[in-house]
Structure 1
Amino acid sequence: MPKPKSPPAAAAGTPSRDGYHHGALREALIDAAEAVLAERGVEGFSLREVARRSGVSPAAPAHHFGDAAGLLAAVSSLAFDGLTAALEAGNMRGGDDPVARLREQGVAYVGFALKHPGRFGLMFRCGPHEADAVDSSGRAAFSVLEAGIRGLYGTPADEPLPPLQWQALLAVWSVVHGFAHLALAGQFNAFTPPEGREAMLRATLAPMLDLQLGALRAGAPPPVKRRIRPG
């Protein structure tokens, strides 16, 4: 009897489809999806390309995520979870100073975008990738920024933010989000020192935020004291 032929070897740099266990394949598909998003954006995204880069059949991503929307939702949810962790790490670096905490959140926000451009490009896109898990993860990230604004003004967590404080929150968010997109577009390359982008963020974004946050705190009306009614 002739010897059975060996299966063809996987292409160089491509994992064999038999080499994955369940969890490893899921992570590989997510990593491949992020790479496709970074190169082609949401418009150029396809499950077939994700499968090709992962060295698996075109049906494999659908088996794990249902469809392209399910895979995009998984990537987006993980992205918000990662952003939340980055913002919380910024809080730790800022210590007890509310301005320093928000400044470090801002630096962390842009640093996350530069490190994960594929994920960042997906996170705030409205479309079919929205899901409950994405909404929950997004709210968690937003709550870190909101808590920072509350700390800046001394507003308790159980009280609604006054309009001026909401405006301050949106102003800070807008600055770091816009800065992130400009940096990703290469608009700050000429200002980036040899030490790298982290040094650029420290030399440019950090002092910008210190000025903005100092002005926002100085311009806030004094807190209203609660009157204690006699019993």
Structure 2
Amino acid sequence: MTERAYHHGNLREALLTRAWATIDDDGLDALSMRQLARDVGVSHGASARHFADRTALLDAIAVTGFERMNATLAEAVTSEPTFDARLRAAGLAYVRFAVEHPAILDLMYKAKHHPDASPELLELSRASMAAVVALVAESQAKGEIREGDVERQALVVFAAVHGVAALATDDLLDGVAWQDAAESTIAVVLGAFAAD
């Protein structure tokens, strides 16, 4: 990346792309602001024009992470016609994202709890749970699942799927493929939600 490219407005994206790759490949501890600037071919001062400090950069990476994850989940849900199929598709998409980007997912959840988390990050971090609440409410209204406290049922869905993701990324599934663990967990949740 050249200084000329920076003046054309590409530096922020280049920094985000390189930072994402560094964290994704080597973990958060591998990220250095000075090395990041060197990697994209600019001075540390040039990169600081876009990200005042590491916290600002991490916030922006977390925003990107939630944007990508939310888009993946939305695509999974809209591609299926029934509650069972939609929940399964979304659950598998969530666990797949976690398995493919464990360090990024960890950063996303840590960054949203940082005192300086941006309003954009906070809003995006709530979107996936809001989508689960909407899915449960819609499915109850259609009679696809049993009636109950919508937010509590959505919380059960999130806890179950996130639990599989955490076990998979921490290598605690004792040789069980994450896909099999996710499928089994989702099947249990679907059984508990089945309409009478």
Q: When the two structures are superposed, what TM-score results if normalisation uses the length of structure 2?
A: 0.81
> In the aligned structure 1, how far is the partner of 2:115 from the partner of 2:5?
28
Which segments of 5 or more consecutive residues in structure 2 lack a partner in the other structure? none
Equivalent pair of 1:105/1:145 in contact (CA under 8 Å): no
Structure with the largest fraction of helix: 2
TM-align CA RMSD = 2.6
Equivalent pair of 2:66/2:124 in contact (CA under 8 Å): yes
1:61 is aligned to 2:47: yes
Q: Among all aligned residue pairs of Structure 1 and Structure 2, give the percentage whose two residues are the same amino acid.
A: 30
Corresponding residue for residue 130 of structure 2: 143
Equivalent pair of 2:37/2:43 in contact (CA under 8 Å): yes
From 28, 50, 65, the counterpart of 2:36: 50
Query: What is the total number of aligned residue pairs between the two structures?
Result: 188
Corresponding residue for residue 112 of structure 1: 97
Which has the higher Rg, Structure 1 or Structure 2? Answer: 1
> In the aligned structure 1, how far is the partner of 2:92 from the partner of 2:17?
24
- Give CA deviations for 1:16-56 in whole Å, capped at 9, x if unaligned: 43463444322221122223333233x66432232233232
Secondary structure in 1 matching 2:49:
helix
Q: Give the residue type in structure 2 aligned to 1:211.
A: V
Which segments of 5 or more consecutive residues in structure 1 lack a partner in the other structure? 1-15, 156-161, 193-199, 220-231
Q: Give the residue type in structure 1 aligned to 2:188.
A: L
> In the aligned structure 1, how far is the partner of 2:176 from the partner of 2:50?
43
- Give CA deviations for 1:35-88 in whole Å, capped at 9, x if unaligned: 3333233x6643223223323222232111222222111111111111111111
Equivalent pair of 2:95/2:182 in contact (CA under 8 Å): no
> In the aligned structure 2, how far is the partner of 1:207 from the partner of 1:186?
17
> Judging changes above 3 Å, is the alpha-carbon distance between structure 1 residues 60 and 83 closer, same or farther for their aligned structure 2 residues?
same
> In the aligned structure 1, how far is the partner of 2:149 from the partner of 2:98?
28
1:85 is aligned to 2:71: yes
Equivalent pair of 1:61/1:71 in contact (CA under 8 Å): no
> In the aligned structure 2, how far is the partner of 1:189 from the partner of 1:23?
47
> Judging changes above 3 Å, is the alpha-carbon distance between structure 1 residues 104 and 71 closer, same or farther for their aligned structure 2 residues?
same
Deviation at 1:107, TM superposition (A): 0.7
